[in-house]
């Protein structure tokens, strides 16, 4: 551009009048858009010129990348195939066409192209990205193939508050003064071990429909505080419908939760979810859930029907190594069994947000973190404390995962929990540090 300034206004106008110079300028502008992550702008600039410039490897590469990133996967394949016809050793074009094949569900083609790129001498960060894509292909379900997967995980750690209880030794009860809490009602800390596992399956019944299902279980053992040992079982079954960039999943869910080998509660419900993949880096999710929560051991006054509605979005940054995600939801729990006095202690309105990030440094190391905040406002005053309960639950988690192999992972993590409540007995802090070993299959 500096040379154009030297030539002056007349020469500048003549340059713009030259088709070859205009084409080069458009290519440079598109390259700048792609570099900055403005893929829609690059595609809008290049698409009108395709009929005239198809066959130019530089043009076709930029068109293929921008088409891929804006969800035009078939067009991307056509453009990138033209590049490879002229430049069969173009590693970038081969890697991008591998990604396009992935988006189209053509796992065999994607694997072939990416393996061809991986065999070349590449910068370490590029090689790591290719390895992650190849690993994703192995894990991704093919449209016409039944898939099964699962994991088993063992962990050890320290929990500063295994029973999620207040640290205070006494709470004030209107009309009775201070009421001293017993040992089990106060915060207890302990070392723990945990074991969990799960399986899932997807069985296609047509090009668009598939049956999905899975089950998981978890058990935790607190050393010296076995009365707070917990175990849980969860399962789901349903159907998924996929067409283009959209997937709708509806499942029935069942589960139970036990404390010290005695069932505390069970649940059953329905979950409905719609996912829309905007392009190779952006996905939006809309979801709705309804569940029946039922408590045992004389706690049926806590029975409730819960309904939630939410919206989430995930984005992969242009570096291909960092993912950001967030969600927002709101809902209501309606109590099913009031106290003899007619007070409903279970009913509440809730609203929550969650956001997080993960960054893949290389093939082995990944850093992750998340923050969640949920507010609950109960509908009637508590009959004992003569106050309406309001809770603000905040959870912060940080950790790192090291992949020993594609199947074995080591994950140290720390989780900090703070529940601020207008009822002192429900106000607590909790910290959990653990080291987990996971095997996927």
**Tokens at 288, concatenated:** 């709705």
For β-strands 262-277 and 282-295, DSSP reports them as: antiparallel
CATH entry, 147-440, from 2.60.120.260, 3.90.600.10, 3.40.1010.20, 2.40.160.60? 2.40.160.60
Is the Cα dihedral 324, 253, 136, 86 positive or negative?
negative
Is the model more confident about 318 or about 187? 187
Matching fold, domains 2-139 and 147-440: no
> Can you tell me which residue has the tokens 């209107």?
174
Of 384 and 177, more confident: 384
Residue 49: per-residue pLDDT: 84
In our burial notation (b when 16+ CB lie closer than 10 A, e otherwise), range 278-307 reads ebbbebebebbbbbebbbeeeeebbbbbbe
Residue 184 is predicted with a pLDDT of 67
In this prediction, residue 124 carries a pLDDT of 65
Using the Cα atoms of residue 285, residue 290, residue 295 and residue 300 in order, give the sign of their dihedral: positive
Residue 229 in contact with residue 199, Cβ under 8 Å?
no
- Between residues 189 and 106, the one the model is more confident about: 189
Is the pLDDT at 19 greater than 70? The verdict is no
Closest CA to 382 of 422, 334, 331: 422
Q: What is the pLDDT of residue 116?
A: 75
The pLDDT value recorded for residue 356 is: 95
Strand pairing category for 147-159 and 190-204: antiparallel
Range ranked top by mean pLDDT from 87-101, 157-171, 347-361? 347-361
Of 182-191, 280-289, 431-440, the poorest mean pLDDT is in: 182-191
Taking the C-alpha atoms of residue 143 and residue 5, their distance in angstroms, rounded to an integer, is 56
Neighbours of 205 (CB within 10 A): 10
d(CA 34, CA 66): 7
Place 242 in a pLDDT band, splitting at 50, 70 and 90: confident
pLDDT of 180 higher than 80: no
What was the pLDDT predicted at 12? 32
Give CA–CA dist 111/102, Å, rounded.
8
Every domain of the chain and the residues it spans: 2-139, 147-440
Residue 83 CB partners (closer than 8 Å, separation 6+): 57, 60, 61, 64, 90, 93
**Please, what is the average pLDDT of the chain?**
84
pLDDT over 70 percentage in the chain: 84
Burial class (CB in 10 A: 0-12, 13-18, 19+), 42: buried
Whether residue 2 is predicted with pLDDT greater than 70 in this model: the reply is no
| Residue carrying structure tokens 């029975």 | 303
Q: Which residues pair with 219 in a beta bridge?
A: 195, 231
Closest CA relative to residue 312, chosen from 288, 328, 289 = 328
Query: Does residue 1 register a pLDDT over 60?
Result: no
5 pLDDT above the threshold of 60: no
- What number of H helices and E strands is found in the chain? 9, 16
What is the value of pTM for the model shown? 0.70
> Which tens digits make up the pLDDT trace of 165-175?
887 766 666 65
Question: Quick one: tokens of 22?
Answer: 């205009």
At residue 303, does pLDDT exceed 80?
Answer: yes
Least reliable range by pLDDT among 3-7, 98-102, 140-144, 333-337: 3-7
According to DSSP, residue 142 is labeled P
What local confidence, expressed as pLDDT, does residue 54 receive? 84
Q: Which residue has the tokens 């059953």?
A: 268
Which segment of 31-40, 130-139, 248-257 scores lowest on mean pLDDT? 130-139
d(CA 347, CA 307): 12
Distance from C-alpha of 85 to C-alpha of 64, rounded to nearest angstrom:
14
Sign of the CA dihedral with 155 first, then 162, 235, and 308 last: negative
Work out the average pLDDT over 228-236.
Answer: 96
Instruction: Report the C-alpha gap between 157 and 348 in whole angstroms.
Output: 33
Instruction: With a cut of 70, say whether residue 358 has pLDDT above it.
Output: yes
Indicate the range of 16-20, 126-130, 435-439 predicted with least confidence. 16-20
Gap between the Cα atoms of 433 and 369, Å rounded: 14
Dist. CA 150–CA 187, nearest whole Å: 35
Quick check: 32 pLDDT over 90? no
- The phi, psi pair for 28, rounded to 5°, reads -65, -40
Domain 2-139 CATH (choose: 1.25.40.10, 3.40.50.720, 1.10.10.10, 2.30.42.10): 1.25.40.10
């Amino acid at each position: 551009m500096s040379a154009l300034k030297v030539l002056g206004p007349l020469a500048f106008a003549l340059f713009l009048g030259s088709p070859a110079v205009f084409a080069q300028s458009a290519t440079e502008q598109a390259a700048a858009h792609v570099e900055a992550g403005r893929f829609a702008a690059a595609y809008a600039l290049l698409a009108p010129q395709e009929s005239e410039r198809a066959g130019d490897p530089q043009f076709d590469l930029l068109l293929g990348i921008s088409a891929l990133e804006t969800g035009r996967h078939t067009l991307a394949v056509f453009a990138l195939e033209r590049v490879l016809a002229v430049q069969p050793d173009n590693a970038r074009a081969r890697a991008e066409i591998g990604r396009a094949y992935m988006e189209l569900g053509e796992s065999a083609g994607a694997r072939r192209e990416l393996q061809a790129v991986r065999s070349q001498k590449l910068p370490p960060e590029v090689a790591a990205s290719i390895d992650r894509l190849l690993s994703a292909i192995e894990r991704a379900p093919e449209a016409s193939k039944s898939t099964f997967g699962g994991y088993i995980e063992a962990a050890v750690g320290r929990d500063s508050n295994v029973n999620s209880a207040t640290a205070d030794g006494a709470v004030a009860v209107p009309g009775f003064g201070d009421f001293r809490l017993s040992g089990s009602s106060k915060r207890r800390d302990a070392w723990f071990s945990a074991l969990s596992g799960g399986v899932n399956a997807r069985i296609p019944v047509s090009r668009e429909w598939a049956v999905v299902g899975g089950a998981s279980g978890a058990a935790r053992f607190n050393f010296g505080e076995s009365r707070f040992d917990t175990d849980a079982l969860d399962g789901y079954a349903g159907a998924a419908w996929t067409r283009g960039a959209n997937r709708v999943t509806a499942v029935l869910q069942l589960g139970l939760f036990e404390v010290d080998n005695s069932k505390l509660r069970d649940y059953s419900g329905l979950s409905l979810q719609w996912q829309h993949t905007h392009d190779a880096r952006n996905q939006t999710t809309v979801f709705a859930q309804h569940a029946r929560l039922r408590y045992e051991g004389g706690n049926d006054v806590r029975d409730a029907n819960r309904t939630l509605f939410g919206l989430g979005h995930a984005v992969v940054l242009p570096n291909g190594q960092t993912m950001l995600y967030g969600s927002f939801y709101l809902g209501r729990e309606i109590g099913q069994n009031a106290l003899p006095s007619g007070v409903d202690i279970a009913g509440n309105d809730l609203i929550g947000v969650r956001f997080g990030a993960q960054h893949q440094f290389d093939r082995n190391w990944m850093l992750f973190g998340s923050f969640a905040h949920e507010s609950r406002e109960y509908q009637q005053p508590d009959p004992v404390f003569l106050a309406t309960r309001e809770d603000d639950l905040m959870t912060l988690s940080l950790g790192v995962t090291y992949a020993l192999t594609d199947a074995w992972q080591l994950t140290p993590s720390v989780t900090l929990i703070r529940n601020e409540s207008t009822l002192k007995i429900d106000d607590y802090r909790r910290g959990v540090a653990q080291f987990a070993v996971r095997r996927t299959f």
